[in-house]
Amino acid sequence: MPIPQISLRPEVAEHLRSVFLNQELSAAVGPSEAESRFHSLLECLSHPPSHTCVRASTHLAPVEEIRLRLKDELKKQQLPNSSAPSAEILPHPVIPDVLLLPVDGPSPVQQLSSEVVVGAQCGSAVLRGAQVFSPGIVACPKYMKRGDLVSVFSDSEGKCTRGAFTFQGLKVFVGNGVAQKDRADIFCSDQPSRGVGVLMTDPLYQSPSFDGVLPSLVFLQNLPSVVVGHVLGPRPGERILDMCAAPGGKTSHIAALMRDQGEVVALERIRNKIERIRENAEVLQLRSVKAFCFDSTRAVSDDATDGPPFPPESFDRVLLDAPCSGLGQRPNMAVTWSLKEVCSYQPLQRKLLRAAVQLLKRGGVLVYSTCTVTLAENEEQVRWALETFPCLTLQPQDPHVGAEGMPGAGLTQEQRRLVQRFSPELSWGRIDASTPLPRRAHQDTIGFFIAKFQKH
């Protein structure tokens, strides 16, 4: 059974349709092409990208050394007597610290009668190569024992009752595996169950598992998220602010690009996420990261000293990877949010942009990014920033491997060329396994947006 298109509330689907069929875009590409792009978006969002992107810790070792060590580690995952070729690992042709691995699928996997249901987040992780960890299991057969062959389904809408024996609601098949625990060990133990609950032997999408693999040398990260760090262009000795830093992937990349020379201030308003940022920096052997639990909308103060908060014009570069509706994340089989929730981020993003501009030194660089596909959170925010802050100008991006900005927000054609929108719907159905991996990597990504400004 194929993976269905992403499930959205009707009012959210209609809102997205109005975005992708806006008058300016329809005039540029034609109404039928605009409609086609919208339906391609709904299809591709529920499927994983056709590659895995790994960021190599080139501040610790050369990329080719890391590639060879990774190849050796992934060989160990192959089953004994397996005739399958070892995973292909290619260096990215443009981005020097990226390695690419192809993802094979979907495969024609036969469903079994014994069903395990996992949460939506766990199901999405399985589609990208992860095993099923016990905390992600929400339902399994009454008499499931270690060693049982099971089919794994994702509870797309989060409606399955934890501990149930079966589930008849909306669920999506993600592959088969072998139970690693008895049901009683998952649901009836005095202590929370940990470790692998189902070992995926026949997943719908074949992709290596990176759990515990070379943790200081490789970091799983979507390609557009790696591009952000390079576009920011950090240099050794600078003071850089990451305003919404959790879980710390971009923070650590900035520090690595600076060769760990300088200071990277990471702010995150949710306290329990701060430790994750610090752990990532420690594993990657980065000492220049300083993480604080703080609300970045309040990060500017004329009376501040060391901060946070900080005096105006305290930073050479600022990254605002803004909280957003996340509608570009893949794979995502269902979004249960209301239209009000989806549209709620624009005011917060503008508060953060205002603080970012104040904290940036003159001559400094501000990069704004999101992992969503709406105009309101992307191109409209660029137009608002340029109108509100005359000191800002859009800058070219290097590397620029995504598409240009979407029409419909009032940006000029030149301004749309300067921003970078990763639009997987543009290539959906037009590329396949025969398409060279680097080309697939640029096109078949999560939905993402990047704008680069300079303050004068």
Q: For residue 212, how many other CB atoms are within 10 A of its CB?
A: 7
Angstrom distance (rounded) from CA 59 to CA 288: 13
**Residues 303, 308, 310: CA angle, nearest 5 degrees:** 45
Which residues lie below 8 Å from residue 10, measured CB to CB, with a gap of 6+?
none
Active-site residue 293, yes or no? no
Query: Is residue 281 exposed (0-12), middle (13-18) or buried (19+ Cβ within 10 Å)?
Result: buried
The dihedrals phi and psi of 100, each to the nearest 5 degrees, come to -120, 135
Catalytic position from the list 44, 244, 324, 371: 371
> 46 — alpha (psi -120 to 50), left (phi > 0) or beta?
alpha
Rg (CA), the chain: 22
**CA–CA separation, 58 vs 188, rounded Å?**
45
The span from the CA of 26 to the CA of 342, in Å, is 23
> Residue 454 half-sphere exposure, CB side, CA atoms within 13 Å?
9
Q: Could you write out the DSSP letters of every residue in 392-413? A: EEE---SS--SBPPPSSSS--H
> What are the strands, taking DSSP E only, across 49-170?
51-56, 90-91, 98-102, 115-119, 132-133, 137-139, 149-155
* Number of Cβ within a 10 Å radius of residue 256: 25
> How far apart, in Å, are the Cα atoms of 448 and each of 238, 277, 322?
27, 22, 11
Paired tokens of 393: 């100008």
Short-list 441, 407, 399, 400, CA closest to 424: 441
Is the bond preceding 106 in cis, omega lying within 30 degrees of 0? Answer: yes
Kindly list the catalytic residues: 371
